[in-house]
Structure 1
Amino acid sequence: MSTGPVVVVGFVVALLRTMETFQPADSVIIVDEPDVFRKKDAAPKVAEARCVADTIEFEYFNLPAAADEFFHRYRDLNPSAIIPAVDYAVPFAARLAERYGVAGSTYGAATLLRDKELLRLVARAAGIANPASVPVAGPDEVHAFMAAHPGPAILKPANRQAAIGTRILAEPAEIDASWTDCLDQDEGIATPDRAMPLRMLVEEYVKGDEFSVEMVLRGGAPLFGNVTAKALIPGPKPVENGHIVPADIPAALTDALNAETVRLLDAVGFDTGFVHCEWIVRDGEIYLVECAGRMPGDMIMDLIREAWSFNMVEYYFEVMRGGTPSRAVPVDAPAGAAIWFLHTEPGEVLSVDGLDEARQGPGVLQVDMLVQPGGRVHELRSSWDRAGLAVARAESPAAALAAAREAIDTLTVKFA
């Protein structure tokens, strides 16, 4: 087992803060796109981090040979583990792991997980329930799909993230305007300045209860799994309004969601790593939404830590280094944790009242505005357009959700 650095692909400030709590000094190397690293103003944050030894700026988003090029430039890196921190890093990190001979998901599995069209083909062949789905190149093909599949549909990218460019179509009359709207996919600081190819899908809209499974696997076998329940902001954009850990559902459904996740990962040939798989349950049947080969966003990792009294990030890093984790995984979550987001109408924020009161609520761990006075709340197009958040912990998932929602309700946003 190598004692070299942990290579983290993609800069995420929340992950950096967590790594600071358990990684030794100078034990991490961060690899990121030059444009993204600059736009996130990452340099000063990394410079202050005790655990980071170095950063390497390297272009890799949607560049299939990038990992092999990186390997030959940095053959002496000798990493102990390679961690994908963002969606676009998943195939690059998997191929790097193969080249350096450390644990990873496999490049084949990572490629399928990053491409919603390919994932549906493989999952469907493996007998996993999927909505009807076809690639489309324009509105006429969307019209043809909705004619063949009566009822609501969902238009989405095959190769993007964070619900960007995704819209629910209630009827065919919405198609032409929605197509134009969905192609406007500015991901801001999350992507490099160069253009990236885009492919679109139209799918049957499956309405039901929505969940995600967060799981660590080694050699294809699950070591730890958590089921998160999620709520969406009402409307045509399927953006999350909140997450509840663990999902307050019957044990049989928890077991079934975990089992379907393992079955999906076996179908794509996943070996070792972390997954965040999203599912919809309708009339007792579990439908695949998508599956990411990396840790989730929206502070779900923090919710798992609070609800399970278990640092899943540290555990995941230990597994990826190939060692025996220092502690056993818990069998049950002793508490509940939840995050609820603030969504407002678009406009320039003049002031925010109630922050101090909201932060003092029972069980409230964190309340933050994502848009400060003088900033602008944009029309809801993706997860990045939410205005604020509240995180709470309580004796049960339901109580944690109530506390987080009450904290959000305490806030008053005034617009110019």
Structure 2
Amino acid sequence: MTLIIVGYLPVLPVLDHFPPDSVLLVDEPDVIRKRGVAAAMAGAPMLRELIGWEYTSPASADEFYNTHPDLAPTMVVPLLEYATPFAARLAERYGLPGAGSAAAAILRDKSQLRRVTRAAGIANPPSRGVDCPDDVRAFMAEFPGPVVLKPANRQASVGTKVLHDATEVDQAWAECVAQDEGALVPDRRMPLHMLVEGYLRGPEYSVELLVREGETLFANVTAKTLFPGPRPVELGHTVPADIPDALAARMRDRTEAVLRAVGFASGVVHCEWIVVEGEPHLVECAGRFPGDGIAELIERAYPVNLAAAYYAVMRGERPDPLPTRARHGATVRFLRLAPGEVTTIEGVDEAAAIPGVVRATLTVTEGDEVRELRSSWDRAGSVMAVAETPGAAEKTAELAIERIRVEVLSTRPVTIPGRIHR
């Protein structure tokens, strides 16, 4: 058995489903080096080979296929956002289930997704591709009110900011076009396309579907909350969303309409929505497993082995019937710290010991420098909790967050794209 996994995640349990000596793990050579992937995967029983490949480059999947025409893999799956087009095309070349390369390409480019789904009758905010600050100001003159400046082809809210006035445009443009994802991306420059969109006010959700040849096998709606401020970075997620069944069904239907519009075939999708006056408006849609711990929330809340079902679909199999309703509530809450040097950390073990808390973790240690919150990568830690209801899970997580005490020695930062000078 040969399984091709594209993109490294530092969570080995996502690979524990696989037999010994079965996995070919493909990642960018720069990322393998910067993240220490070879050392992290050393001795992993399922790993047959770690392959360095520039998979974000054009035609890289076809080059890989022609370099390895006799692999005969059982499945090809992406674990990361930037890996989705490569994995979809490679699956096509090996004759395996997948999203479809055309669908994956549309989902990876928010400007294309807007055009395609708008043509299919799906509600979208007004949106336009922009090449300079003057383009942003022209859009703001045409569509009065707040706007969102964002990349069309990035992840984790990188380079995204809400603007309320045209006087903010020049500084925001300088900040948003200078993205710093560090070890998560290759050293070579990745193409960047910027969008400006009308800002929508309303509750935010995501819909997660497992789809086999266009048929939905599993559906979930997640409630999302954001940190206050101009950067739309997620503060937390709750599964299932505590909303009326009719609204949940409406968002599921709209997500299925998105997949029909782009021609998505098989896999997992994570589709984000803002509900305005009862109507879901599309934010974006990713052709991969959700991040931010949402997949684990789903598996704990229903419960369901969603990963195993996904891998079955990607092998061309039909999994056993999956649950249609959650039996518990599950939530994750993230921590935000003021910029500065971390001097004291207390209460993490105390928070983790609260009944219902799955784990409490920090991504910083004493002496670390905390950046201004600009994307999901700048959050300082998280708490995950499970309870009988979504509301009870949220209260447990909030109680745990309150137990964690982190002191930061702050000075007034001056923000320069990609770093902080003091």
- 1:404 and 1:212 map into 2 onto residues whose CA distance is 20
Q: Which residue of 2 aligns with 1:57?
A: 52
Report matched runs for 1:9-408 at 5 Å.
9-14=6-11, 16-20=12-16, 22-61=17-56, 63-325=57-319, 327-408=320-401
Hey, which bits of structure 1, 4+ residues long, moved more than 4 A? Answer: none
- 1:165 and 1:157 map into 2 onto residues whose CA distance is 6
- The alignment's TM-score, normalised by the length of structure 2, stands at 0.95
Q: Once the 2 structures are TM-superposed, how far is the Cα of residue 357 of structure 1 from its aligned partner? A: 0.9
Q: Which residue of 2 aligns with 1:413?
A: 406
- The alignment's TM-score, normalised by the length of structure 1, stands at 0.97
- 2:399 and 2:77 map into 1 onto residues whose CA distance is 36
- 1:227 and 1:50 map into 2 onto residues whose CA distance is 35
| Uncovered stretches (5+) of structure 2, i.e. residues with no partner | 410-422
Q: Which residue of 1 aligns with 2:412?
A: none
> 8 Å contact 2:219–2:324 — kept in the other structure?
no
- 1:351 and 1:56 map into 2 onto residues whose CA distance is 40
- 2:19 and 2:342 map into 1 onto residues whose CA distance is 41
Q: Deviations over 1:301-355 (max 9, x none)?
A: 1111110111111110011101232x32012111010000010111111121111
- Matched residue type, 1:382: S
SS at 1:13 equivalent: coil
> 8 Å contact 2:206–2:273 — kept in the other structure?
yes
- 2:181 and 2:324 map into 1 onto residues whose CA distance is 38
- 1:50 and 1:351 map into 2 onto residues whose CA distance is 38
- 1:182 and 1:164 map into 2 onto residues whose CA distance is 8
SS at 2:178 equivalent: coil
SS at 1:60 equivalent: coil
Mapped pair 1:5 → 2:2? yes
- 1:195 and 1:331 map into 2 onto residues whose CA distance is 43
- 2:357 and 2:79 map into 1 onto residues whose CA distance is 27
- 2:303 and 2:383 map into 1 onto residues whose CA distance is 19
Q: Deviations over 1:136-184 (max 9, x none)?
A: 1111111110010000000000111110000000121211111111112
- Matched residue type, 1:68: D
Q: Once the 2 structures are TM-superposed, how far is the Cα of residue 392 of structure 1 from its aligned partner? A: 0.3
- 1:138 and 1:46 map into 2 onto residues whose CA distance is 43
RMSD across aligned positions (CA): 1.0
Work out the number of aligned pairs and report it: 409
| Uncovered stretches (5+) of structure 1, i.e. residues with no partner | none
SS at 2:333 equivalent: strand
Percentage identity across paired residues of the two chains: 52
